[in-house]
Amino acid sequence: MRFTILICLLAPAATLIAGEAPSPNPFASLNPQVEAIVSQVSAERIAALEKKLGSFGTRNIYSATDDSEHGIGAAREWIASQFRSYSPRLQVSFDKHKLAKQGRAFRDVEIWNVVAVLPGTGEPERQVLITGHYDTINMVFKPGPEDRPVLDPEATAAAPAPGVTDDGSGTAAVMELARLMSQYQFRKTLVFIAFAAEEYGLFGSGLYAENAARAHQVIEGVFNNDIIGSDITGNGETDNRYVNVYSEGPEDSASRELARYFKETAERYQPGFGVNLVFRHDRFGRGGDHSTFNAFGYAAVRVTTPMENFSNQHTATDTFANTDPQYATLVAKANAAAAASLALAPKAPELPSSEPAPGHLFAEPLSRGKSADGHAGYDAVMSWQNPHPEPDLLGYAVVIRSTTSPLWQREIFVGDVLSHTLPNVNIDEVVLGVKAIDKTGNESLISPYVTRPYHQPKIATY
């Protein structure tokens, strides 16, 4: 017997807003500056950078620091010299730390992050980071207890580790974007970083993020590029039409909004190349330099290929012959679109405090309004703040989506106001947000209206 299953798809509540018609989009055109940057990302230059990074033989944190051609010392000096050559506006420095023996780091070692800062011209205190890690590792194992292999630290430190895909590809993208973007001016500060000691426990990024948090630095987003040069897996599967972007939860965390922003802007400026949002902190059992920023409360995402070749990772075969600079270029272009757009954009609107009101168990960042008799109404009453609006601010757009939709589904431009009411919208079954837009069409990150999780108060008994 054959059965027919009928699936009825209801239109999301976000698309059924009574009395609201979409406003004309005043910012439909592409930003010429962002468009120019994306178009100029060079596959030839990325290939040359990857070849040079591989030529150091190894960039293991325990490799030579006094050799002008080989080892991590030569690599970091070359990266810094390249940064300096791109523009006098780039402020280049080494972020140095003395790492004590711990975890996989089997003896004390000094690690140097390479940092290039492009100061913003409007809101320089707000930063957008584009990162990768330049250190490498070739894991060598030896027999351990019960013949189980264990890492041989001395042999690992001495082994060839060209690391072209992991993560010469990410470092090359960071360097190429520093070259291009330093030729332009941005509202916010752009920071280009090649981290050290990622392979030994995310130590370089961890120390940088800790210092940034201690200094109360305002970092709007971190785009971490790690393993973006492979478009074919070890079992022969190949695809160069999209990239994965990982972001930590919950559903409307700052990192999730950054990931959505990356997808929307990258696909707008590079049609045909997709961004696959993976709503997970990272791949199973693994991590990257975005993780350390997440730990300190910053919005950070991992950009990585879906076509990893595990047979080359952390081995001597991670060479230029086994990478694809054309694919890395596509990913670099996606980064350029997202980072440039965010660095040009106004700051996101501030939402009312979501602390529970006296006598209430849950926070209520949204209001249902009031009916004529003073009872709760049925409208979505939204409000936000902007204590220091930008001179070129155009206004705000309200965005809406179903609670189960990964992406925002509808947008309504509401003008230069600090509140808006959506009539007959049940705030309990949709997600609402608001973003700022300037007069040239640059869009801020979205500020979503979310409630804090319920925490059981102490219950008095007698």
Mean of pLDDT values over 263-283: 97
The answer to whether domain 32-344 and domain 348-452 are alike in fold is no
What SS3 class is residue 277? strand
For 230, 265, 417, 432, 452, the CA distances from 369, given in Å and listed in that order, are 53, 34, 18, 15, 21
**Is the pLDDT at 16 greater than 60, yes or no?**
no
Peptide bond preceding 250 in cis form (omega within 30 of 0): yes
pLDDT recorded at residue 10: 38
pLDDT recorded at residue 295: 98
**Is the pLDDT at 92 greater than 90, yes or no?**
yes
Least confident of 1-10, 145-154, 241-250, 300-309: 1-10
pLDDT recorded at residue 1: 39
Listed by start position, the domains of the chain span: 32-344, 348-452
Position with higher pLDDT, 441 vs 456: 441
Mean of pLDDT values over 187-197: 98
Q: Using CA atoms, how far apart are residues 424 and 300, in angstroms rounded to an integer? A: 36
pLDDT recorded at residue 33: 98
Phi-psi region of 441 (alpha: psi -120 to 50; beta: other; left: phi over 0): left
DSSP assigned state of 187: S
Position with higher pLDDT, 240 vs 365: 240
Position with higher pLDDT, 39 vs 11: 39
Least confident of 17-26, 214-223, 290-299: 17-26
pLDDT recorded at residue 125: 98
pLDDT recorded at residue 452: 73
pLDDT recorded at residue 454: 73
pLDDT recorded at residue 11: 45
**Is the pLDDT at 133 greater than 90, yes or no?**
yes
Computed from CA positions of residues 304, 308, 313, 319, in that sequence, does the dihedral angle turn out positive or negative? negative
Mean of pLDDT values over 323-333: 98
pLDDT recorded at residue 413: 97
Percent of the chain with pLDDT over 70: 90
Mean of pLDDT values over 66-80: 98
**Is the pLDDT at 32 greater than 70, yes or no?**
yes
- The answer to whether 241 and 272 are in contact (CB under 8 A) is yes
- Supply the DSSP string of 187-221, one letter for each residue: SEEEEEEEES-STTTSHHHHHHHHHHHHTT-EEEE
Confidence category of residue 368, pLDDT binned at 50, 70, 90: confident
pLDDT recorded at residue 12: 46
pLDDT recorded at residue 367: 77
Mean of pLDDT values over 398-420: 96
**Is the pLDDT at 291 greater than 70, yes or no?**
yes
Tokens of 170: 């990410």
The mean of the pLDDT values for the chain is: 91
**Is the pLDDT at 19 greater than 60, yes or no?**
no
pLDDT recorded at residue 139: 97
How large is the greatest C-alpha to C-alpha distance in the chain, in angstroms?
81
Least confident of 90-94, 239-243, 282-286, 360-364: 360-364
The verdict on domain 348-452 having CATH code 2.10.70.10 is no
Tokens of 60: 């293991």
Q: Using CA atoms, how far apart are residues 66 and 69, in angstroms rounded to an integer? A: 9
**Is the pLDDT at 228 greater than 60, yes or no?**
yes
pLDDT recorded at residue 158: 97
Residues 6+ apart with CB under 8 A from 241: 272, 273, 274
pLDDT recorded at residue 7: 34
pLDDT recorded at residue 455: 74
pLDDT recorded at residue 18: 45
The verdict on domain 32-344 having CATH code 3.40.630.10 is yes
pLDDT recorded at residue 5: 38
Mean of pLDDT values over 92-114: 98
Mean of pLDDT values over 432-452: 94
pLDDT recorded at residue 357: 57
